[in-house]
């Protein structure tokens, strides 16, 4: 190659490098400029302002990603963000919850965007027609909306819990959002639900000592936990939201807590068992797993960081990590995406297999217990059997109600299911010994509960009546609530930063 050609190649290479460096410098300058002016407050956010769209004027990226929680386009092997009828998929659940609201209606959860809409629509809240009516207490609103801390601040905590679900209906409008987790002045994470603060106090801890990384899980633990309604204290007759954390965060700790105070959520309509209904102990199960022990927070996986322009921010499209494994999982794990997901599915498959076995055992236990009562069994004869059923179903419910348990702590979830199977078998062994003493030999007939409709008929639910009441509620009451909410929020107004 001639020296002339070499010189030209060197010249072109130099020019190319200079151009690329110039482009890189320009890009860095642009990104620094974007980052510098990324946060330009447009409005003044008042204390406890529940309106997510108002917060969104100052934080458009976060707000736009939050709006993506309305999407229903993701489905994993076992779950997703779509509305699925869990009772239709597993009719045994109807019998397990006989006498309780979940036997009427239970759907797999959608995104936070639908929190208020879905509680409006569920048959569990009934079709109340006026103040003081309906099956559910006002406490059931607690985790559904940033209007909750607003209203608690206005009328007091106990007064918020007091009364029926209907009574606070027109006050609760905005779905889970900004005011639930953020301070309006500093934007720091905050705890807006008193039950979590009180739970820490019951364990001798101060939640104010929590680190920022811990807060990235604790804001979720305001709602994704086990809880019950304490009608004895601190205010007699008021269903005060309480976490059973005094003894610790394991399934046995909560069970002992409830047994010690002789608490039950309801009495099973078939077996007459004083039952416990696990809510959604996601945080407690997560605490038993490897990610929690390694300091990984809920937000790390369900709300991973993302970058737009020169700004890094938390993605508020709260969703399953399986919908976004590149940002949620592969930031730490270098394995192939398919390998990571297959590992999760394998754990889920194994635990679901055990859970389904336990469901069938529990249905048989409830049916056989009913037969024993029908044959004249005494309270003394039934007490140890009912306690086994109570503890077995508590473990089943605790394992499945946490939703992500087979990912958060697969070994612990499997252990819980296994101990539940043991207790269900113990209940059936005792029943097998008791029934002959009551004059019955052979196998107790198993009902046809092959569909949701057949199961609901078996336990005596009048679904036509319940559905008509709900439709009337949606047609006559919801429009009034929406109108009242609009008037209230219109009166709140929005003050711009430049306003005096």
Q: Give the annotated binding-site residues.
A: 112, 140, 143-144, 178, 181-182, 220, 223-224, 226-227, 277, 279-280, 291, 298, 301-302, 316, 329, 332-333, 408
User: What residue numbers does the annotated binding site for Ca(2+) cover?
Assistant: 226-227, 277, 279
The span from the CA of 180 to the CA of 44, in Å, is 17
Going by C-alpha positions, the residue among 412, 361, 406 that lies closest to residue 253 is 412
The span from the CA of 487 to the CA of 173, in Å, is 12
Beta strands 266-267; 274-275: pairing state: antiparallel
Q: Using an 8 Å Cβ cutoff, are 143 and 172 in contact?
A: no
The span from the CA of 460 to the CA of 410, in Å, is 36
- The DSSP H or E segment spanning 306 is strand 305-308
Q: Using an 8 Å Cβ cutoff, are 98 and 367 in contact?
A: no
DSSP string over 43-83: EEPPTT---HHHHHHH-HHHHHHHHGGG----B-SS-BSS-
The span from the CA of 167 to the CA of 75, in Å, is 36
- Taking CA atoms, 82 is separated from 79, 123, 124, 298, in Å, by 8, 18, 19, 21
- 3-state helix, strand, coil split of the chain in percent (to 5) is 60, 5, 35
The span from the CA of 159 to the CA of 164, in Å, is 11
User: What residue numbers does the annotated binding site for heme c cover?
Assistant: 112, 140, 143-144, 178, 181-182, 220, 223-224, 291, 298, 301-302, 316, 329, 332-333, 408
11 φ, ψ to 5°? -65, -50
């Amino acid at each position: 190659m001639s020296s002339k050609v070499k010189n030209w190649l060197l010249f072109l290479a130099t020019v190319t490098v200079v151009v690329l460096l110039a482009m890189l410098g320009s890009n860095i300058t642009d990104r620094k400029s974007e980052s510098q002016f990324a946060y330009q407050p447009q409005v003044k956010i008042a204390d406890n302002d529940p309106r997510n769209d108002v917060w969104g004027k100052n934080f458009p990226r976060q707000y736009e990603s939050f709006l993506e929680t309305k999407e229903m386009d993701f489905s994993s092997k076992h779950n997703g963000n779509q509305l699925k009828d869990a009772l239709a998929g597993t009719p045994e659940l109807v019998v397990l919850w006989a006498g309780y609201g979940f036997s009427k209606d239970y759907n797999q959860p959608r995104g936070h965007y639908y929190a208020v809409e879905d509680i409006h629509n569920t048959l569990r809240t009934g079709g109340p027609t006026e103040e003081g009516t309906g099956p559910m207490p006002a406490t059931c609103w607690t985790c559904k909306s940033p209007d909750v801390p607003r209203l608690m601040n206005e009328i007091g905590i106990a007064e918020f819990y007091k009364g029926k679900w209907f009574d606070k209906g027109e006050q609760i409008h905005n779905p889970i959002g900004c005011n639930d987790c953020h301070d309006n002045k500093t934007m720091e994470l905050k705890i807006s639900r008193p039950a979590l603060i009180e739970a820490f106090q019951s364990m001798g801890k101060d939640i104010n000592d929590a680190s920022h990384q811990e807060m990235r899980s604790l804001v979720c633990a305001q709602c994704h936990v086990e809880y019950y309604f304490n009608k004895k204290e601190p205010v007699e007759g008021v269903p005060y939201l309480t976490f059973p954390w005094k003894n610790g965060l394991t399934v046995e700790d909560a069970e002992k807590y409830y047994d010690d105070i002789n608490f039950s959520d309801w009495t099973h309509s078939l077996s007459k068992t004083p039952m416990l209904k696990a809510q959604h102990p996601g945080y407690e199960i997560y605490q038993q797993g490897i990610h929690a022990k390694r300091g990984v927070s809920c937000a790390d996986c369900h709300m991973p960081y993302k970058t737009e322009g020169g700004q890094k921010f938390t993605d508020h499209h709260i969703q399953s990590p399986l919908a976004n494994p590149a940002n949620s999982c592969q930031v730490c794990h270098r394995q192939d995406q398919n390998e990571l997901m297959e590992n999760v599915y394998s754990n889920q498959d194994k635990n679901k297999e055990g859970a389904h076995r336990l469901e069938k055992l529990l249905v048989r236990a409830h049916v056989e217990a009913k037969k024993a009562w029908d044959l004249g069994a005494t309270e003394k004869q039934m007490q140890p059997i009912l306690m086994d059923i109570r503890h077995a179903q508590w473990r089943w419910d605790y394992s499945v109600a946490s939703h992500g348990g087979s990912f958060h702590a697969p070994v612990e979830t499997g252990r819980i299911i296994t101990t539940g199977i043991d207790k269900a078998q113990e209940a059936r062994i005792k029943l097998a010994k008791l029934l002959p003493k009551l004059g019955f030999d052979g196998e107790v007939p198993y009902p046809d509960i092959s569909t949701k409709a057949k199961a609901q008929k078996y336990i005596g639910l009048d679904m036509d009546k319940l559905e008509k009441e709900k439709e009337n509620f949606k047609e006559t009451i919801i429009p009034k609530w929406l109108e009242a909410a609009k008037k209230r929020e219109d009166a709140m107004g929005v003050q711009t930063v430049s306003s005096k």
